[in-house]
Amino acid sequence: MNIVDPILFHGRYQPAIPALLVPGAANEVVTYHQFSRIIHNIAKRGFDAGLASGNIVALLVQDQLLHVALIFGLAKYGIITVTPNDLRTPSGLRIDAVISDRPVGEAGGRKVLLVDPSWLQGSGEPVKAAAIANEDQSFCRLVLTSGTTGESKAAAFAHGRMSVRAMRHQTVFGHRYAACSRVMLDTGWATAMAFTTAVYVLSRGGTLALRGRTAADTLRVLTNYQVQALVGSPGSLAELINLSDRTLLALPHFDAIISIGSILTPALGERVRSQLGTNLISAYGSTEAGVVASAPAAAIAHIPGAVGFVTPDVAVDIVDDKGKALAPGEIGRIRIRSGASPVGLIDQSGRLVPFDDGGHYSGDLGSFTPDGVLIIAGREKEIINLGGSKISPESIELALTKFAPVRDAGVFALPSAMGIEQIVGVIVWHDNADRDASRQELRRHLEHHLTVSQIPKLFVELESIPRGTMGKIDRAALAKAASDALKNTKAPIAQKSSSGRRA
């Protein structure tokens, strides 16, 4: 079945029900009848512009309605979309055209189509001359992922596999989420979670709310239309709470909140439950496997690094470097086998590499508790090696964020003047924090939670922590931002913070 067919069905079965809520748009409410017409209009404009079934199209589109309309409108007729963060895509990935709603500059010789709201207009009639992708194995979407190698690859999703993956959301997030028909999506379109959530909500005839152009628009729509559930990363959840703190705007309470993309800290989890809703669900997943583990956040908050119980149709092994299974409590590489994996990965040579039945490595290190809770200890490539001692930056970040005046934190390693790796802690203060007093208390706090070798030798203060689309810390960008701050202070890096004050 084509993933767009249920949307078109609802266009006839419940034409007046909202399919999309787009805060701040000229037409904030898009009904299923309207969205069905938009899907066909988008496809016609694409074919008129020279696109053909089987083409791969990169979307660099900021307008939320245009973006989601292009994804589903082109998928109906066999045109495969991918949403990169910029024009840099895997060298082996054939991009037939770039669609953008703004000038993109040099596109490497690829066809560029400028899109605007007029693409949404038209007769709404199906494109009769075009082939329709109905085969379960036909690709409908590509999602870029670096996996464990650091080299970008494209995960290829087929219509049938994506339908199965989306319907798993009925199970893995509990009964209260399954009962929600109005869901806000607060993750970027570059992620697999965004696409999966959109397919899930729209296939069921629900209403998908998107982030608005302004925070006020978003909060107004969430409240006016009684949106019941929120899917976002810890970063986006923190952003909503910080917005409320700054503007005193009232936040709606949700029946279910899904946090996925990076580890949810206990401090953030507590604030989310008190300000956004008590049914907060922690989830761990990947582009390659979908949702791997989940649990009510309150049930696992006391276990550092815990992300949940392994979900149905997924198997997780903790293994050593030779692939030998480890016992509960032992930290090793995480190997995953999932029935919700994409068909395969398109590698740098342009070849589709099917997934190995033996599983794939997530790039994370982890362990199991005796009762089966999955714990994430950190990324393999981000482990800091200090004279043979391997230290997870996530464990230090957890300790930093437990200190109440700290709103967010990041950790990386930086060579000293002698070439020896030292740990750098980057902190973002709450707006109302007494920074002078907090600087004095921070080290005492860390001494209670960390070993001497884990305590950062240097602290840098920034306004925000660079994060990717799913909320994970971009450590390369973090190191650059911290280094730039240090250079601007002209301070000895082993002694002073970015504010020029001793930490």
The full DSSP string for 363-428 is: EEEEEE-TT-EEEEEEEGGG-EEETTEEE-HHHHHHHHHTSTTEEEEEEEEEE-TTS-EEEEEEEE
Q: What is the pLDDT of residues 97-111, one digit of tens each?
A: 999 999 887 777 788
DSSP code of residue 350: S
| Length of the chain measured in residues | 503
Q: Residue ranges of the chain with pLDDT lower than 70?
A: 129-137, 146-151, 347-349, 356-358, 385, 387-390, 416-420, 469-470, 489-503
Residues 464 and 151: their CA atoms lie apart, in Å, by: 27
Query: Contact at 8 Å (CB) between 143 and 287?
Result: yes
b/e code 433-443 from CB counts within 10 Å (16+ = b): bebeebbeebe
Residues 323 and 242: their CA atoms lie apart, in Å, by: 43
Cα separation values, 9 from 36, 65, 202, 203, Å: 9, 20, 11, 9
Q: Which phi and psi (to 5°) does residue 29 adopt? A: -110, 120
Residue written as token pair 């084509």: 2
What is the reported pLDDT for 58? 94
DSSP code of residue 467: B
Between helices 266-275 and 393-401, what is the axis angle to 10°?
50
Residues 318 and 378: their CA atoms lie apart, in Å, by: 13
* Of 58, 60, 50, nearest in space to 103 by CA: 60
Residue 491, Cβ neighbours under 10 Å: how many?
18
Quote the Cα angle for 314-319-320, to 5°. 160
* Of 83, 133, 126, 91, nearest in space to 108 by CA: 91
DSSP code of residue 502: B
Strand partners, 458: 424
Q: How far apart are the first and last CA of the chain?
A: 59
What is the reported pLDDT for 134? 61
Strand partners, 302: none
Structure tokens at 453: 């070798």
Residues 280 and 130: their CA atoms lie apart, in Å, by: 44
Q: What is the pLDDT of residues 431-460, one digit of tens each?
A: 888 988 898 899 889 988 888 878 998 899
Residues 260 and 272: their CA atoms lie apart, in Å, by: 14
Residues 172 and 457: their CA atoms lie apart, in Å, by: 41
Structure tokens at 438: 């907090």
Residue written as token pair 């005046």: 405
Instruction: Tell me if 5-124+136-376 shares its fold with 383-489.
Output: no
Residues 288 and 193: their CA atoms lie apart, in Å, by: 11
Three-state DSSP state, 486: helix
Three-state DSSP state, 132: coil
Residues 155 and 93: their CA atoms lie apart, in Å, by: 11
- Neighbouring residues of 15: CB distance < 8 A, sequence distance ≥ 6: 31, 32, 33, 36
What torsion do the CA atoms of 141, 144, 147, 152 make, to the nearest 10 degrees? Answer: 140
- Going from N- to C-terminal start, the domains of the chain cover 5-124+136-376, 383-489
Residues 259 and 241: their CA atoms lie apart, in Å, by: 14
- Assign a CATH topology to domain 5-124+136-376: Rossmann fold (3.40.50)
What is the reported pLDDT for 131? 64
What is the reported pLDDT for 398? 86
Q: Which phi and psi (to 5°) does residue 95 adopt? A: -110, 115
CATH classification number, 383-489, choose in 3.30.70.980, 3.30.300.30, 3.20.20.80, 2.60.40.420: 3.30.300.30
